[in-house]
Every structure is written in C-alpha cells, then in structure tokens.
C-alpha cells in the first residue's frame, strides 16, 4: 500500500468551519493529521465524487481559510451557485475590482449552510446580474455536492488557497489556450497522472478544477505567451497548443511570433522537450469554417516547416491535423464547433501516453491498463471512463487488507425494501461496439463476515457483483429506454450466492425478453456455477464478442479455470439489446431484503481488446 502523504482536506474544512470562524477575513490555518491507513482516510458515504485532492502526487500543502461573508443563496445546484449579499456595505462584492480580488479562479471555495453541512467547489467564471452574483461554467463540487435547491437559504462563503507542491519525478507544462483549459483537458491531466503512477509533476501559473497546475486559459494568444514566457517554470516537457485565437491575424506574422517564442523557450530550457502542436481547425458546423480552415492549413504548414528545419531533437511535432483526420470532423468538437470534444481528448491521451513512454523514468511508474484502486479518482485509461456511481443504502471505501489496497463496496441492512438496493461503480465502455471483442479481468473477495438471513440462504438469493449493461441509444432518454426496451437487463452478469452447502459464483448470459414482447421466449441462462471460499481473492476473467446474432459469445475463467463446460469453453448467442455501446457495472446489486451488512471487495481491474492485454 502506498502511504498517504497529504492532508485530509475536506474533513479539515468541516472541522475548521464548525470550530467557528465567523469574523470576516480571519486567517485560519487548517491542520489535519496524516492518516495511518486508507481505512481511516476515505469515506465514500458521500459518493465517489466526494473526494479531496489526494489524487495528486503532492507534498503536504498548507492552507489558509478566509470568510468572505454571509449571503442569501437564491439557487444552489451542481452547475450553479446564485446568491446576493446580506450586507453590501461591509463586503462590497458588487464592485468589479473587489469581485476580482475576492474571487480569484486559482483559489478553492467552500459554502457552509445553516444545517451545518459544507460543500467545497471550484469555478471557472463569475458574473453579476444586478445585485446578484452568479458562479457557473465548469463549477466543480469536491464534497457534499448539493441537491437542486430553489428555496432561498442563508450561506457563509469561504475561500482557501491550495498549493499542491507536487513531487512527481517528471515535470510537464500544458501551455496554450482554452483547448488546454476546458474540463476535458483538466480530466486528461488527472488521467495521465494516474496512468503514470503519479510520477508526473504539472507546472504552470494556474490551478485547474482537479488541483493540477497548467499554463493556459481562455482567449490565450501568442502575445499573452510572449508576456509570460519568462514566468514559465522549468519543466521536462512543454506541450504547446496555441493559435486558435489568432485566425484574424496575418498568418506569416503569427508564425514569426510563434517561432521566436519557441526559440526563446529553447534558450531558457535547452534540455526540455517541446511538443509543438498544430491546431485543430473548427468543424464544418462553425459559421466561419471556410475562412478559419484556410488560415489553419497555412498556419499548420508553417509549424511543420519550422520543426522540419530545426536541428534540435527536443523539438517534437504533434500533428493534430494528421492524427485526427479529417481534422474538421464534427465528432472531434463540442457543439460550438471550436472547442474539442471528450472523444478528442480520449484519443489525444493515447498520443501523449506513447510520447511520454519514451521517458525511462515514467516507464518505471507506468500502470498501463490496470486500475489498482490505490486511490480515487479511477483511471481514465482503461478503454473506459468513469461515468457515475449508483448507491442506495450503500457506499464505497478504499481499505487495506492483506497488505494491499482495495475497493470495498457495502450494502447495509434493508427492511420494507422498495426497489433494488445497490452499491456499484459504473464505467462507459466507449471503445467497444457491435462485432468488437472485449476482455476484462478483476479480482474480488467475499469476506468471512458474509452472512444471510435464513430465508435468503434457503432460497439461494443472489447478489450481482458485475454486469455488462445496455443503455439508451443516442437521442433517447432513460425513461423512453426503460419503457420501450423489450429486454430485461443485463445480458452478462456475475453473481455470488449463498447456499446451505456454501458460497458460489454464478455466471448468467443471453437475452432476457420481457413479457408481452416479440422476445418473450428469449431467456438468459446460468452458464456457470462454481464454489468459492470466503476471505479468498478470486481472479475473474471475461472475454466476449458483442453481437445481435449468434456470432456473439462469452467465455470466462475463475482462478485460471474455465467456467463454461461447452465446446471452446464458450456460450454463444446475441448479447446486445440495442445500438448503444454497453457499459460496465461492478459492486453489489440486490432486489431482496436482509438484516446483515454485506461487503464485497475489488482490486486490479483491467480492460482490453484481448486476453493478453488484461493478463500481462
């Protein structure tokens, strides 16, 4: 287990705020003891997004907490915080200059409510509407994300500094405009950090919503870069993606300015590797597409010529226009046709991964396609991205057991159950579609404490711990999907079940048609049942091909032993419910009541397109 070397930020905030710091602008140091183990550190009763900044490889930073005053909140939601001042004379937040001083973007904020709860958040923009202040646009809550509230309530607003003081071995600076600033780019940094075992140190002037430093912001131009070039901290890598906002300027002068700044950067840091990007032209959906496309073509060619003429091995071309061909395809862009989409950043992450793997220091820490559950958030690099967690009377926690860190899911006692209870992680399998083959492996343990009520034991009640689940097609709502999908979900499911003779793992496969549909005769079947031991880790390996017909199949191993007793150890048949890409869920799901608390632990999740990828 990696020993945590960082502060328990969120809970320190709760402690500090509850201790009372009502006096305006009072400095309050936040002190929190280093936890002895993850068991005491993570508390996922708040859901998987209720995490602090331990995702970063840092030395313990120091914090100072400032009260910005007490306000009336008109609206609090995941996307927006709207409030106005109770006493405008004592704290003139409505003055633009004061607003800028009181709300710097590189600070984090906390809101404490009248009921004693506290939410921690970071934002990207703020605006004034009359006497009302609106914080929105990429608002990111880090603890106790609020439910939608329209009623007026009293809040106290706090501001605090966060200096990560990152301790990674290899430093990297993202330099550029909004393409390196938007939330997708921020999540890209987080994914890279996890992928390389937190051996990366991110440098820059600004702090993103995940707590990583970078040197980019909206509307950033080469003139801005020129002014701040001497302020750039020394790094091993500089990722330069700039030029999107220059398209109204002469191409040749823009290229000359870019080249001069790259040469100066090389003089300042001669051993650094500079990854110079061509820019993505706007998509065909953008009204200025033709003009901007022509400008981008000329600008990008100038970048290529400059890199080709360079004698430096440390100046590396990242030709986005070539990698993402055709570069003006709408799928690479958000709806505005300018800013890049989540799909772009997913593919771009793989490009960076390959380039960074040339560094021996990073190779040593490379985690590949393994999610080891050392800490949250989960990696974005397994061919999936974390979608959301679902929990009803359940929660998640990272625990230390057998000298290893694992994810523990918990379901508490249930009575008078209305609907299913679950404690599951959900992952979108964006890379996998019809006719694709997929492999995954995961280790799981049912602890010695597992016990069922006698009626459930006699009836062989099953708890689903892993499933491949369908979802609505593009443009459909979940309500439409639930009403009109002719199948019961899922098509693939792994259960654990207690029987008088012991504990078993059972695998189910196939379409499961609903009554009064054309598929009512289709029923999935149990394709495997094998005994397992409490308190023992089990390695589950799953291989399948997605299909609407009998070309679809499933094969699986448990502890290296084939589970399916059939030709080729496979079960054949359709396994897709619609044209949407399925997603993965693992944890606990049950539809029955029980008086006991149940835990299932997970570790070392791998996802790939073949067995070799998930076993090597």
Q: Which range among 232-246, 343-357, 421-435, 499-513 shows the weakest confidence by mean pLDDT?
A: 421-435
- pLDDT of 237 > 70? The answer is yes
Asked if pLDDT for residue 428 goes beyond 80, the answer is no
Nearest-CA neighbor of 281 among 259, 300, 304, 306?
300
Banded model confidence at residue 102, pLDDT cuts 50, 70, 90: low
Confidence at residue 280, expressed as pLDDT on a 0 to 100 scale: 94
Q: Where does the chain hold its CATH 3.40.50.1110 domain(s)? A: 170-365
Question: What is the CATH architecture of 382-615?
Answer: Sandwich (2.60)
The rounded distance, in Å, linking the Cα atoms of 267 and 94 is: 45
What would the mean pLDDT of 110-137 be, rounded to a whole number? 74
Q: Tell me: pLDDT of 384 over 60.
A: no
Q: What confidence score (pLDDT) does residue 558 get?
A: 94
pLDDT attached to residue 318: 96
What is the DSSP code string of 380-410? S-SSSEEEEEEEESEEEEEEEETTEEEEEEE
Which stretch, 307-321, 482-496, 549-563, has highest mean pLDDT?
307-321
At 65 the pLDDT is: 65
Q: Strands 125-129, 28-29: parallel, antiparallel or unpaired by DSSP?
A: unpaired
DSSP 46: T
Q: Is the pLDDT of residue 276 over 60?
A: yes
Q: Please tell me the least confidently modeled range out of 121-130, 250-259, 464-473.
A: 121-130
Residue 313 pLDDT level (bands cut at 50, 70, 90): very high
Q: What DSSP string runs through 310-379? A: ---TTEEEE-HHHHTSSTT-GGGB-TTSSSBPHHHHHHHHHHHHHHHTTSHHHHHH--TTEE--SSSSPP
Q: How far apart are the first and last CA of the chain?
A: 21
Region 576-594: mean pLDDT is: 88
Cross-strand partners of 343: none
Q: What is the mean pLDDT of residues 498-517?
A: 90
Q: 23-64, pLDDT tens digit by residue?
A: 333 332 222 222 222 222 222 222 223 334 455 666 655 556
Burial 215-235 (b: 16+ CB within 10 A, else e): bbbeebbbeebeeeeeebeeb
CATH top class, domain 170-365: alpha beta
Q: What is the pLDDT of residues 167-212, one digit of tens each?
A: 789 999 999 998 998 878 888 887 788 778 789 999 998 888 777 8
**Least-confidence region, from 391-400, 407-416, 476-485, 512-521:** 391-400
Q: Is residue 513 very low, low, confident or very high in pLDDT (cuts 50, 70, 90)?
A: confident
- Please state, in angstroms and rounded to a whole number, the distance separating the CA atoms of residues 135 and 152: 16
CA distance 151 to 58: 39
Beta bridge partners of 585: 426, 467
Residue that the structure tokens 């593919």 belong to: 347
pLDDT at 1: 28
Contact 39, 145 (CB under 8 A): no
- Residue 127 has what pLDDT? 75
Mean pLDDT, to the nearest integer, of 583-608?
88
Q: What stretch(es) of the chain map to CATH 2.60.120.200?
A: 382-615
pTM over 0.95: no
- For range 548-564, the mean pLDDT: 91
Q: What is the dihedral of CA 263, 267, 271, 275, to 10 degrees?
A: -20
Report the alpha-carbon distance of residue 115 to residue 147 in Å, rounded: 14
- Mean pLDDT for all residues in the chain: 78
Of the given ranges (18-22, 44-48, 462-466), which has the lowest mean pLDDT? 44-48
Range of weakest confidence among 97-106, 134-143, 517-526: 97-106
- Range of 393-402, 437-446, 528-537, 576-585 with top mean pLDDT: 528-537
> pLDDT grade, residue 393 (50/70/90)?
low
| Measured distance CA(184)–CA(341) in Å, rounded | 8
């Amino acid at each position: 287990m990696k020993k945590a070397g960082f502060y328990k930020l969120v809970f320190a905030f709760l402690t500090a705020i509850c201790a009372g710091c009502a006096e305006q602008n009072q400095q309050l140091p936040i002190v929190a003891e280093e936890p002895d183990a993850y068991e005491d550190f993570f508390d996922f009763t708040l859901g998987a997004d209720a995490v602090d900044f331990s995702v970063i490889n840092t030395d313990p930073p120091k914090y100072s907490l400032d009260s910005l005053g007490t306000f009336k909140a008109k609206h609090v939601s995941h996307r927006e915080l709207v409030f106005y001042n109770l006493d405008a004379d004592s704290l003139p937040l409505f003055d633009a200059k004061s607003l800028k001083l009181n709300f710097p973007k590189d600070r984090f904020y906390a809101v404490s409510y009248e009921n004693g709860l506290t939410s921690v958040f970071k934002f990207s923009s703020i605006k004034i509407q009359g006497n009302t202040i609106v914080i929105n646009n990429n608002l990111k809550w880090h603890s106790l994300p609020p439910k939608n509230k329209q009623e007026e309530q009293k809040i106290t607003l706090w501001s605090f500094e966060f200096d990560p003081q990152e301790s990674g071995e290899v430093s990297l600076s993202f330099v550029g405009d909004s393409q390196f600033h938007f939330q997708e780019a921020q999540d890209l940094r987080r994914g890279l950090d996890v992928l390389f075992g937190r051996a990366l140190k991110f440098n820059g002037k600004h702090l993103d919503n995940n707590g990583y430093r970078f040197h980019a912001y909206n509307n950033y131009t080469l003139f801005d870069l020129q002014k701040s070039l001497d302020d750039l901290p020394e790094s091993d890598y500089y990722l330069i993606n700039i030029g999107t906002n220059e398209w109204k300027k002469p191409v040749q002068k823009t290229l000359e300015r870019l080249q001069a700044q790259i040469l100066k950067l090389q003089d300042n840091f001669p051993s650094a590797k500079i990854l110079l990007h061509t820019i993505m032209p706007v998509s065909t959906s953008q009204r200025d597409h033709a003009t901007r496309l022509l400008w981008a073509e000329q600008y990008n060619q100038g970048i290529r010529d400059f890199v080709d003429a360079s004698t430096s091995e440390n100046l590396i071309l990242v030709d986005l226009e070539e990698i993402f061909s055709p570069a003006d395809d709408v799928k690479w862009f958000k709806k505005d046709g300018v800013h890049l989409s989540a799909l772009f950043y997913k593919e771009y992450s793989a490009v960076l991964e390959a380039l960074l793997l040339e560094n021996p220091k990073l190779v040593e820490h490379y985690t590949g396609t393994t999610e080891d559950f050392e800490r949250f958030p989960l990696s974005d690099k397994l061919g999936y991205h974390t979608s959301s967690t679902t929990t009803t009377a359940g929660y998640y926690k990272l625990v230390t057991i057998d000298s290893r860190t694992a994810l523990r899911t918990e379901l508490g006692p249930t009575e008078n159950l209305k609907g299913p209870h679950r404690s599951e992680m959900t992952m979108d399998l964006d890379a996998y579609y019809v006719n694709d083959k997929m492999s995954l492996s995961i280790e799981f343990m049912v602890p010695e404490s597992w016990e069922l009520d006698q009626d459930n034991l006699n009836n062989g009640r099953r708890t689903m711990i892993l499933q491949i689940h369908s979802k609505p097609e593009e443009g459909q709502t979940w309500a439409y999907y639930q009403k009109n999908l002719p199948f019961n979900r899922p098509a693939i499911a792994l259960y654990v079940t207690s029987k008088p003779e012991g504990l078993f793992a059972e695998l189910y496969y196939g379409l499961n048609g609903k009554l009064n549909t054309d598929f009512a005769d289709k029923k999935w079947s149990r394709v495997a049942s094998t005994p397992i031991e409490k308190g023992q880790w089990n390695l589950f390996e799953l291989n399948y091909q997605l299909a609407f017909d009998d070309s679809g199949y499933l094969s699986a191993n448990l502890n290296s032993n084939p589970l399916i007793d059939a030709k080729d150890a496979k079960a054949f048949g359709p396994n897709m419910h619609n044209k949407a890409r399925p997603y993965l869920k693992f944890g606990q799901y049950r539809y029955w009541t029980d008086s006991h608390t149940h835990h299932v632990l997970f570790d070392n999740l791998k996802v790939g397109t073949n067995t070799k990828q998930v076993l090597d």
